[in-house]
Amino acid sequence: MKILITGATGKVGSRLAKRLAGRGHDIRALVRDSSRAAALLGHQIEFVEGDLLNPESLALAVQGIAAVVHCAALFRGATPQQAHAVNERGAQHLASAARHANVGRFVFLSTGLTYGDNGGRLADEDDACNPVDAYPLSKLAAEKMLLGMEGLDVRILRLPFVYGDGDPHIEEVIPFMRGFPAGQRMSIGHHVDVAQAVSRLLDAGSPSHRIYNVVDDEAPELTALFAAVGQPPPDGSSGERAAAFSALLNGRRIREDLKFKPTFPRLADAILANAVGRAWPE
C-alpha cells in the first residue's frame, strides 16, 4: 500500500513511518522542511514538502496515494489559535485534498484527552466529550469535521499517553505532572502497539467512519509511571489541574472489531523487555 504520513518527524509519526516501511508499505512523508527528516533517511521513505496550512501544496503529496495517516499536530506550547489552525483547519485541507485525489482511506490520529474530566471512569468511543484545553478541543473539532465528510473513508484512532521506543515522553511530562495525585491512573500505549493499531485500521475492510481507542490492558498509577524513569512520585499539589487528564480509555472496541492485542499489555511488561528507554525492534 502506498501511504502518506504527516508528522513523520514527530515522536509518534517518525516511529510509525519506520515501522510501516519495514512492513513493506511504500511510505511518503509530508514534511515542511526535508532537511529536518534526517532520522528517516535509510528507511526507504520518500519525502515531499508541503504545509497543512497551504492547501495548494498538498495536491502533489496525495497524488497516487492509497491511504493517508495523519499524525501531524501542534500540542504543548501552541496557542489556542495555532492549535485550531493546524489541528483542525490543517486536517480539513488534507482531507479535502485526499478526497479530490480519490484516496481510499484516511486514518486520523486523535487523542484520548478529547474525553476531558469524567472522574476517572472508563471512556467508550460513543461517550460525550468535554475537553477544556486547546489541543483536545482542536482534535475533537477535526474529528467531527472528518466524520461529517462524505466521499472519504475515515477511521479515527484516539491515542493514550504514548511511551517507549527510546521516546523521552515520560521524562518530559514529569515537570508538568509533578503536582498530580500519586494514585491517579493514566491510560498508556507503547509505540509498537500504536503501529499495530494503525496497521489494523489500514487493513480492515469495514466499517468506515468509526472511532477507536487504543490502549494497554492496564492503566498504571502515576507513581509507577514516574518510577519507570527513576523519579519520585508526584506530590498531589495540583489535583484540580489533573482532572482534565482523568479519563481512562476503554479498548474493548478495537479488540473486538480488529482483533487488536497489545504487545505490551502492562507498563511492567515493557520494563521487563527493556522496551521503555531503547528502540524496540520490529
271 to each of 137, 223, 266, 267, how far by Cα in Å?
A: 33, 15, 9, 6
Could you tell me if residue 211 is inside a domain?
A: yes
Range of the domain at 25: 2-165+188-218+248-267
Structure-block grid coordinates of residue 35 = 532537511
Q: The CATH number of the domain where 25 resides is what?
A: 3.40.50.720
- pLDDT by residue (tens digit) across 71-89? 999 988 889 999 999 999 9
Please tell me the total count of domains within the chain.
1
Residue 83 located in a structural domain = yes
Kindly state whether residue 234 falls inside one of the protein's structural domains: no
- Whether 183 is covered by a domain: the verdict is no
The answer to the question of residue 205 being in a domain is: yes
Cis ω before 55 (30° cut-off from 0): no
Q: What is the mean pLDDT of residues 40-61?
A: 91
Using a cut of 0.85, tell me whether the model's pTM lies above it: yes
SS3 of residue 102 by DSSP: coil
**Grid cell locating 6:** 504527516
Which pLDDT tens digit goes with each residue over 147-177?
Answer: 999 999 999 999 999 999 999 999 999 999 9
What integer best gives the mean pLDDT of the chain? 94
Cβ density class 189-227: b for 16+ within 10 Å, e for less: bbbbbbbbbbbbbbebeeeeebbbbbbbebbbbbbbbbe
User: Is 224 inside a domain boundary?
Assistant: no
Is the pLDDT at 39 greater than 80, yes or no? no
Domain membership flag for residue 281: no
In a domain, 197, yes or no: yes
pLDDT of residue 141: 98
